[in-house]
């Protein structure tokens, strides 16, 4: 396993491209990872827990307390590490226990490997397709797990054999085979290259993890083979949900050129692949699918239904004088007690009653807190046994005075498989209701009889169901109306009954659609072997199609797009931000989790700050959700978010922007895009800094889906960050780079509001792609004015097809008059400036560069000079080109508007040559009104410009005052 350790500890391995991702490493995930890797498929296995070596397993009560995570759904109590070895879920009168670690439940179970009973295989819910190769797959799993039987009959097996045979009618004592190494069987002729493990010491500590490396857990067989075949394993990596890649591109035939699925490690980081195999256990897989469903993944309505606890019920028998040797041994005791007198493996006998259930006795590991079983989590039978008696019993056993023994009794049977697993939307936590167990009264009676024979005191579990063998929740069925997956493990797309989501599989105990009645480990591994056969075939066929279609394409097309694996980069900063406001007049709240992480800090030059390049640490990814009840009743989850807190536009180099772009997914399957911008203007001495830095101007659009005929949304609004939320945001900052992040953010704001330094100069301004198309060519004509000045006129000929123009009415030319030294209409950096639009409409465009233009310097020039001397020859030039009867459209801005009116009112230009006149300055309203009034009051005769302007501004002032 040295190679595995190297893989787990390789933090720089972040850029690999995987064909398939397996989530979970128990009896399902390990089988799938092994079979795919051995077929040459590039696989990455993700495991929530950590790797447990033999010396890491708890051997005393203090160590096991730190290896347990407990969750009480009713009380909302949770404690213990997220990756604890034992995960306990308590709800109402039920308790579910699962394992967490590389190897899953195989790490801490008893390792009992029993063939699937015929009764289970004849169940109506059992997929008939499984029967075709069930025995072959079962043999394959048994060989990999190296199941064996012990030649020694240990004391507890002898005692249970005697009393069970006397109490049970038609009792069947099964020969228990275990995935434990006893070194009693000859190895196969061509054994797989598996890890060498020790022989069993019969210490009885199996249920706490074998401390002597003698158990054949999946990390020592299937996973070793997978790693040797090239599989990558990453531990401490909990998957939250999976979605279809929103940026996937399909080529003809439906073959994806980019990875089809995203597997999210948290709300921000994800990996992409073409296949995802969910094997996180019953609760884990169902929870992942529920969260995926909330983000738009279509799944069967039966998700979470058909949950079975395999009829599990536990009891504790204390104070028995029988020679059970029912306690696990430490190393010192192993040296003092002969092998045949030791407790043996945790379970060494199994007894099946004709009443329909199986009872097994189990050794208590030394690390287990026995007092929990003696009156705390149990009821006592017969009455009178008290908790303090348990304390006395423990003390006597500790000092060696007590000869009594205790054991665990585990009953398994056939429940109704009608339990339910759910995900509470408010708490985002999994909860469950156990199935009905009609055999429970019979099991209790059997427990009482065995306890009486053993001479002990029965402590029945307080929980109606104590489930250690969870099954179902994503049941295999023939169509989506009866289950979540087909017999191959492919997840149904309920759009049509038998359609599946290409590349999405389930391969663990959640496939099993009914109770098995015995330890289900071998059954789960067999079902995984069956599903893996079809999975490997599916992948190889797909890869052959891809190879044929992209043989001539660039191999980089196959790279993982947007891979964002979480790592411990020292510059990573995690931020939480909440904004509230109104979008489209409706209340909207945005809860964001942002991850600011620079990938290119080493290449960033500090001198870049002075030329305005924003720091990479101010860019990042976002996750979270949006509450917009008017649009969707449930949360809109962010499945792809980006933000940049220091955006600079070369057209406005003094202004700083903060851009947000969020791709949102709803449970209904709809997707939306929320884009926002904070605008920070360096004016008014930063009086509006608070408002500008806390106000996000947003647009909210619905993404059009193929074949959709619904109404598309296009809403606008504002969201704000309150002072309290901003304070929480800074308090919640996490990461080693948070101090640097705050420094950089404040630095940009100081540069914007205080120093007012432009970030982009004309020399280093880069034209964007949208503006990079060639500008229409023009000609420049020099025009001599009556007073001897040389001015220029730029002429663009229309861009319309001449053949079309010959059939249509010829449009009048347009004369553009700028304002005072301002270029208002000819803007080459803008993709849709006025000149481009007018040319596309079919107009000839003339732009007059007057004596006030920077290219035509003139001394002591006035607006009256433009109207009197510059505009008339410009009209003459246009009439010369287009004909004397041509009418001209005039578009004027600010001072240009005054100049054209001076030319008209002074008689320098005839109104008969003007088709229309448009002034684009808002303040011109009053000036034009004033000129119209002058025209009414005064005869149309030349007047001095000073008098005309005096009247103009005087009347404008009066009208403005009245308005």
List, in sequence order, every beta strand (DSSP E) within 650-682: 652-665, 671-680
Task: Read off the pTM.
Answer: 0.79
Q: How many CA atoms lie within 13 A of 583 on its CB side?
A: 28
3-state secondary structure (DSSP) of residue 156: helix
How far is Cα 185 from Cα 206, in angstroms, rounded to an integer?
21
CB 525 within 8 A of CB 519: no
Two structure tokens written together for 908: 């320098």
Percent residues over pLDDT 90 in the chain? 47
Specify the residue for token string 């926002």.
676
Two structure tokens written together for 217: 């857990």
Question: Of 620, 753, 610, 648, whose CA–CA distance to 692 is shortest?
Answer: 753
Phi, psi for 218 (deg, rounded to 5): -65, -20
How far is Cα 522 from Cα 518, in angstroms, rounded to an integer?
10
CB 411 within 8 A of CB 446: yes
Q: What is the pLDDT of residue 651?
A: 74
Paired sense of beta strands 94-99 and 465-467, if any? parallel
How far is Cα 392 from Cα 390, in angstroms, rounded to an integer?
5
Whether the link from the prior residue into 382 is cis, omega within 30° of 0, is yes
CB 786 within 8 A of CB 888: no
What sections of 302-458 are H helices per DSSP? 331-336, 387-399, 440-454
Specify the residue for token string 């256990």.
281
Specify the residue for token string 């694996």.
565
How far is Cα 50 from Cα 289, in angstroms, rounded to an integer?
23
Residue 951 has pLDDT above 60, yes or no: no
What sections of 195-280 are H helices per DSSP? 222-228
Lowest mean pLDDT segment, chosen from 65-74, 294-303, 797-806, 841-850: 797-806
How far is Cα 616 from Cα 599, in angstroms, rounded to an integer?
8
Each residue's pLDDT tens digit, 503-547:
999 999 999 999 999 999 999 999 999 999 999 999 999 888 876
How far is Cα 95 from Cα 468, in angstroms, rounded to an integer?
9
List, in sequence order, every beta strand (DSSP E) within 706-812: 714-720, 779-784, 790-796
3-state secondary structure (DSSP) of residue 589: strand
Lowest mean pLDDT segment, chosen from 190-199, 489-498, 848-857: 190-199
Residue 882 has pLDDT above 50, yes or no: yes
Residue 569 has pLDDT above 70, yes or no: no
Q: What is the pLDDT of residue 909?
A: 92
How far is Cα 725 from Cα 739, in angstroms, rounded to an integer?
19
Average pLDDT over residues 764-771: 49
Lowest mean pLDDT segment, chosen from 137-141, 488-492, 865-869: 865-869
Question: Of 639, 624, 635, 631, whose CA–CA distance to 587 is shortest?
Answer: 631
- The residues near 202 (Cβ < 8 Å, ≥ 6 apart) are 150, 152, 154, 339, 342, 343, 344, 345
Paired sense of beta strands 457-461 and 313-320, if any? antiparallel
CB 680 within 8 A of CB 647: no
Each residue's pLDDT tens digit, 283-325:
999 999 999 999 999 999 999 999 999 999 888 888 888 888 8
Question: Of 769, 775, 767, 928, whose CA–CA distance to 845 is shortest?
Answer: 775
Paired sense of beta strands 888-892 and 814-817, if any? parallel
């Amino acid at each position: 396993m040295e190679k595995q350790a190297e893989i787990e500890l390789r933090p720089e391995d972040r850029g690999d491209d995987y064909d398939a991702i397996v989530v979970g490493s128990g009896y399902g995930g390990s089988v799938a990872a092994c079979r795919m890797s051995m077929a040459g498929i590039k696989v990455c296995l993700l495991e929530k827990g950590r790797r447990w070596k033999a010396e890491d397993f708890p051997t005393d009560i203090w160590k096991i307390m730190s290896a347990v995570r407990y969750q009480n759904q009713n009380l909302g109590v949770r404690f213990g590490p997220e990756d604890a070895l034992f995960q306990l879920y308590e709800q109402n009168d039920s308790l579910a226990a699962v394992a967490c670690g590389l190897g899953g439940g195989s790490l801490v179970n008893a390792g009992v490997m029993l063939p699937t009973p015929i009764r289970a295989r004849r169940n109506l819910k059992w997929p008939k397709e499984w029967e075709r190769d069930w025995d072959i797959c079962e043999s394959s799993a048994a060989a990999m797990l190296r199941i064996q039987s012990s030649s020694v009959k240990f004391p507890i097996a002898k005692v249970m054999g005697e009393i069970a045979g006397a109490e049970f009618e038609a009792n069947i004592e099964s020969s228990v085979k275990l995935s434990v190494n006893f070194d009693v069987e000859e190895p196969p002729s061509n054994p797989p290259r598996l890890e060498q493990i020790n022989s069993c010491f019969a210490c009885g500590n199996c249920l706490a993890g074998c401390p002597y490396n003698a158990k054949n857990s999946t990390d020592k067989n299937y996973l070793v083979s997978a790693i040797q075949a090239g599989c990558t394993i990453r531990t401490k990596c909990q998957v939250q949900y999976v979605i279809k890649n929103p940026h996937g591109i399909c080529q003809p035939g439906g073959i994806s050129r980019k990875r089809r699925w995203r597997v999210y490690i948290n709300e921000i980081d994800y990996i992409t692949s073409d296949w995802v195999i969910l094997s996180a256990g019953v609760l884990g897989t169902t929870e992942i699918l529920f969260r995926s469903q909330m983000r738009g993944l279509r799944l069967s309505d039966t998700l979470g239904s058909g949950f079975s606890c395999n009829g599990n019920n536990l009891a504790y028998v204390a104070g028995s004088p029988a020679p059970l040797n029912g306690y696990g041994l430490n190393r010192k005791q192993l040296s003092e007690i002969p092998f045949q007198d030791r407790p043996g493996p945790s379970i060494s006998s199994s007894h099946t009653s004709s009443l329909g259930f199986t009872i097994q006795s189990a050794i208590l590991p030394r690390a287990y807190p026995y007092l929990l079983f003696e009156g705390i989590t149990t009821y006592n039978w017969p009455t009178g046994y008290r908790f303090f008696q348990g304390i006395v019993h423990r003390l006597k056993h500790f000092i060696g005075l007590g000869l009594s023994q205790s054991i665990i009794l585990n009953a398994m049977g056939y429940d109704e498989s009608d339990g339910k697993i759910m995900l509470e939307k408010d708490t985002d936590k999994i909860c469950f209701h156990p199935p009905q167990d009609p055999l429970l009264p019979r099991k209790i009676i059997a427990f009482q009889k065995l306890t009486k024979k053993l001479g002990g005191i029965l402590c029945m579990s307080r929980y109606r169901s104590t489930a250690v063998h969870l099954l179902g929740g994503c049941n295999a069925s023939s169509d989506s109306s009866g289950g979540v997956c087909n017999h191959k493990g492919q997840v149904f797309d309920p759009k049509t009954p038998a359609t599946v989501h290409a590349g999405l599989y389930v391969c663990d105990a959640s496939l099993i659609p009914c109770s098995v009645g015995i330890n289900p480990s071998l059954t789960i591994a067999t079902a995984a072997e069956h599903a893996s056969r079809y999975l490997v075939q599916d992948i190889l066929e797909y890869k052959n199609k891809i190879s044929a279609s992209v043989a001539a394409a660039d191999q980089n097309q196959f790279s993982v797009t947007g891979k964002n694996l979480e790592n411990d980069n020292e510059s990573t900063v995690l931020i939480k931000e909440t904004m509230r406001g109104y979008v489209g007049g409706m209340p909207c709240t945005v809860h964001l989790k942002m991850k600011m992480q620079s990938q290119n800090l080493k290449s960033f030059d500090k001198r870049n700050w002075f030329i305005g390049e924003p720091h990479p640490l101010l860019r990042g990814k976002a996750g979270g959700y949006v509450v917009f009840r008017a649009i969707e009743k449930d949360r809109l989850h962010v499945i792809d978010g980006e933000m940049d807190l220091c955006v600079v536009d070369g057209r406005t180099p003094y202004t700083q922007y903060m851009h947000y772009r969020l791709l949102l997914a709803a449970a209904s399957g709809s997707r939306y895009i929320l884009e926002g911008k904070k605008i920070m203007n360096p004016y008014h001495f930063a009086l509006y800094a608070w408002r500008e830095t806390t106000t996000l101007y947003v647009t909210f659009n619905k993404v059009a889906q193929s074949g959709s005929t619904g109404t598309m949304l296009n809403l606008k609004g504002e969201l704000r960050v309150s002072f309290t939320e901003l304070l929480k945001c800074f308090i919640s900052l996490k990461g080693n780079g948070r101090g640097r992040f705050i420094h950089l953010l404040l630095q940009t704001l100081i540069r914007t509001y205080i120093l007012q330094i432009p970030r982009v100069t004309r020399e280093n301004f880069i034209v964007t792609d949208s503006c990079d198309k060639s500008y229409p060519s023009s000609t420049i004509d020099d025009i001599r004015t009556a007073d001897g000045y040389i001015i220029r006129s730029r002429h663009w000929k229309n861009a319309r097809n001449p053949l079309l123009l010959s059939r249509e009415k010829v449009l009048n030319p347009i004369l553009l008059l700028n304002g005072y030294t301002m270029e208002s209409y000819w803007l080459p950096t803008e993709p849709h400036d006025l000149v481009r639009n007018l040319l596309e409409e079919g107009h000839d465009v003339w732009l007059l560069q007057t004596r006030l233009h920077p290219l035509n310097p003139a001394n002591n020039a006035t607006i009256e000079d433009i109207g009197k001397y510059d505009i008339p020859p410009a009209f003459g030039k246009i009439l010369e080109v287009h004909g004397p009867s041509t009418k001209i459209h005039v578009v004027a801005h600010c001072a240009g508007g005054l100049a054209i009116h001076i030319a008209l009112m002074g008689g320098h230009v005839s109104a008969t040559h003007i088709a229309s006149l448009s002034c684009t300055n808002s303040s011109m309203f009053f000036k034009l009104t004033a000129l119209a009034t002058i025209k009414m009051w005064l005869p149309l005769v030349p007047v001095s410009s000073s008098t005309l302007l005096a009247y103009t501004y005087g009347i404008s002032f009066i009208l403005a005052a009245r308005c």
